[in-house]
Structure 1
Amino acid sequence: MNLKTIVFLLAFILPFNLIKAQTCCSGGIPLSNNIGMAILETGTTQIGVNYDYNNLNTLNNGSNKLDDDSRLRITHSILVNASYAITDNFSIEGLFTWVNQRRKITQFGNENLDQTSGIGDGLLLIKYNFSDILKNKVAINIGIGTKIPFGSSTQKNNQGIILNADLQPGSNAWDIVYWSSFLSSFNFRPTFNISSRFIYRSTGTNSSYFGDSTYKFGNEFQAFIGFSDQFLFLKTMLYPSVTFKYRNAIQDKIGGFNLENTGGNWLFIIPNISINIGTNIVFYTRAELPIYSNIDGTQLTPTYRLTSGILFTIRPPKQLINLN
């Protein structure tokens, strides 16, 4: 067994063995949703600019929806991805974020609003394409990276009180991220693809939460399976797809103890459409809609999420060939 095969097996199997380990709050920055650009030819740069709107207005207890719409949580995120292909098989990717989070509670005619804004945490990912292990229209990529705590974790409300961790732009903790993706096409329709993606985040601990305590978001596992195709419409290439997403998060910990009403399991459907709007420029938009959730305790859970963005691809200049 050669070294590349060993690295591949470790990167693919490890997330499944660690599945009982942290989660970003459902209302926070969608870091894991927005990583994993394609690995293209050597010297290619990709830049993606995204706007993400996450609406949480559904109160659940376990798998039961409660008749209570007094709580509303909204997150606006601006996300910038950048990826560079060092070789045809190896690339590096970064994700930078800005976030505005709002939590509104309306009860007995009174309204309480807390909100924060600022630079959020970032992410750095290195990826490798194992094109020499499996061929015949099967693509396998793996990656490992880290979440970088750029964002503030000590913002305060109007009364000067530090807000809870789930409302902060940053986490003040370093996470390890394991990522893998698989894509297969078929002879009966070469443009039709089935893809899957697996992401595991092992989260670090904020050791100065409220000054003298600790906070750890629960470890998180996400699995995606998607179906995509492409069509020519009015001289424009369209790329429709539909993806199913499963998310598992264990409970957060505060002071080393499990925090109730955090963690759970979710299943989403994600319709997406991408459109070529110019040479090496793609516009895309997608919705993330919950199908099922079974959470720990009583929590505000996602109602819907909308994401739109533009992807720019800058390819290297072609080398001139001297026939002499």
Structure 2
Amino acid sequence: MKKYKVKMFYIIFMSIVCLLSFNASLEAACGGANCSLITGSQDGVLDKGKFVMDLSYRYVLSENPQRGSGRTDRAQTPKVDFSTRTLKLEEHTEKRTINELTQLDVSYGVTDKLTLSLNVPFSNDRYHEHSEGAGAITNNNGTRGMGDITLMAKYPLWETIKHTLVGGVGIKFATGDYRVVDSEGNINEPTLQPGTGSYDAILSGLYGYSVIPNSLNFFTSVSHRFVTGENDLEYLFGDTTLIDIGIGYALTKKVSVSGQFNARISQRDEFVDLDVPSTGGEFIFFTPGVRLAVSKGVSFYSHVQMPIYQRVNDENLVENYGLMLGASFNF
């Protein structure tokens, strides 16, 4: 019975992981829905020896220009010029960014109290359109590559029949390329890079409450990514906080649905100790989802992310919508 309940919690919590991983951070100037994708790893703790593999695809479209929390006719953002160590203000006008990410997440129960999770964004494809001055729209400065890997350790702080509280600590490694060049041979914008070039610390906490055992569950989670320092290009990404709250309901033994609100707070970036315009902001999304269990250890899921409130510092593109498709395998 205990193992069954842990698995039920895990199914719900895994949906949260997908949503936390799904949020594309608006932490830098170029490309409204880019920077590193935050991998929250906020799921529950597995039994000793249990192994879970999750493969997901995420698509995020951003093409709405915004100033602050209101719409505008265009979003002008600066260029980060690494060769001259300068910021070229209002250097280009943002048109569209499409972020596609394919990620592998694996979790293993080291003991009944300790679970390790590894998040590997092995394909990060960023398509980007912008125009410079009165020039034509260009779309040849996107990037593609592997992103930054994250390792999380999770431990149950409180467990009862109805309540679960899980704490997590982790580190984001600088595994992704952050020096991809543009069509002119210069290092591309930080937001368009697959990686950040920095090692970051992550703290997380998740609380789950079984309102109706094996049927209706409430969950809330908080995570914060602490950027430990600038990369060797002297670019410092801002810290990011994620706050999530929602419910999951089992319609049948095989079909469950969820609805959740996801908030993200991103601090401004810095370059050579100067604030970078058009970076950071606050964002709130509503995200419904559905999961189908096709066998005892295999399930498929999908989520749609819809913006409710988005506020950017200065001007930038904001998200139109996001889509996630994935599959989970339990061993």
* Structure 2 CA distance for aligned equivalents of residues 67 and 159 of structure 1: 28
TM-score, normalised via structure 1 length: 0.82
User: 2:102 is matched by which residue type in structure 1?
Assistant: I
Work out whether residues 142 and 179 of structure 1, in 8 Å CA contact, stay in contact via their aligned partners in 2.
Answer: yes
State the match for 1:15 in structure 2: none
- SS in structure 1 at match of 2:143: strand
- SS in structure 1 at match of 2:285: strand
Of 37, 46, 49, which aligns to 1:43?
A: 49
Work out whether residues 242 and 271 of structure 1, in 8 Å CA contact, stay in contact via their aligned partners in 2.
Answer: yes
- Greater Cα radius of gyration, structure 1 or 2: 1
* Structure 2 CA distance for aligned equivalents of residues 24 and 146 of structure 1: 19
Q: CA deviation at 1:190?
A: 5.1
Q: Does 1:194 align with 2:218?
A: yes
Work out whether residues 52 and 329 of structure 2, in 8 Å CA contact, stay in contact via their aligned partners in 1.
Answer: yes
Q: CA deviation at 1:60?
A: 0.8
State the match for 2:263 in structure 1: 246
Q: Does 1:32 align with 2:39?
A: yes
Of 156, 161, 180, which aligns to 1:129?
A: 156
* Runs of 5+ consecutive residues of structure 2 not aligned to the other structure: 1-24, 76-93
User: 2:258 is matched by which residue type in structure 1?
Assistant: S
Of 244, 263, 268, which aligns to 1:224?
A: 244
State the match for 2:8 in structure 1: none
User: 2:289 is matched by which residue type in structure 1?
Assistant: N
Taking structure 1 as reference, are residues 276 and 136 closer, same or farther at Cα in structure 2, changes over 3 Å only? closer
Taking structure 1 as reference, are residues 159 and 23 closer, same or farther at Cα in structure 2, changes over 3 Å only? closer
* Structure 2 CA distance for aligned equivalents of residues 280 and 307 of structure 1: 20
State the match for 1:58 in structure 2: 64
Work out whether residues 169 and 204 of structure 2, in 8 Å CA contact, stay in contact via their aligned partners in 1.
Answer: yes
* Runs of 5+ consecutive residues of structure 1 not aligned to the other structure: 1-21, 315-324
Q: Does 1:288 align with 2:305?
A: yes
Q: CA deviation at 1:105?
A: 2.0
State the match for 1:271 in structure 2: 288
Taking structure 1 as reference, are residues 257 and 60 closer, same or farther at Cα in structure 2, changes over 3 Å only? same
Which stretch has the larger CA shift, 106-115 or 262-271? 106-115
Q: CA deviation at 1:169?
A: 0.7
- SS in structure 1 at match of 2:191: helix
Q: CA deviation at 1:150?
A: 0.6
State the match for 1:162 in structure 2: 187
Of 197, 205, 211, which aligns to 2:229?
A: 205
* Structure 2 CA distance for aligned equivalents of residues 74 and 23 of structure 1: 13
* Structure 2 CA distance for aligned equivalents of residues 24 and 258 of structure 1: 12
* Structure 2 CA distance for aligned equivalents of residues 92 and 190 of structure 1: 25
Taking structure 1 as reference, are residues 260 and 109 closer, same or farther at Cα in structure 2, changes over 3 Å only? closer
Deviations 1:152-182 (A, max 9, x none): 1111112111101111111110000111101
Work out whether residues 261 and 284 of structure 2, in 8 Å CA contact, stay in contact via their aligned partners in 1.
Answer: yes
Deviations 1:90-122 (A, max 9, x none): 100000012011111258682211111111111
State the match for 2:115 in structure 1: 91
User: 2:45 is matched by which residue type in structure 1?
Assistant: I
* Structure 1 CA distance for aligned equivalents of residues 118 and 319 of structure 2: 26
User: 1:271 is matched by which residue type in structure 2?
Assistant: P
Query: Which aligned runs of 4 or more in structure 1 are off by greater than 6 angstroms?
Result: none
User: 1:118 is matched by which residue type in structure 2?
Assistant: G
Structure 1 vs Structure 2 CA RMSD: 1.9
State the match for 1:74 in structure 2: 98
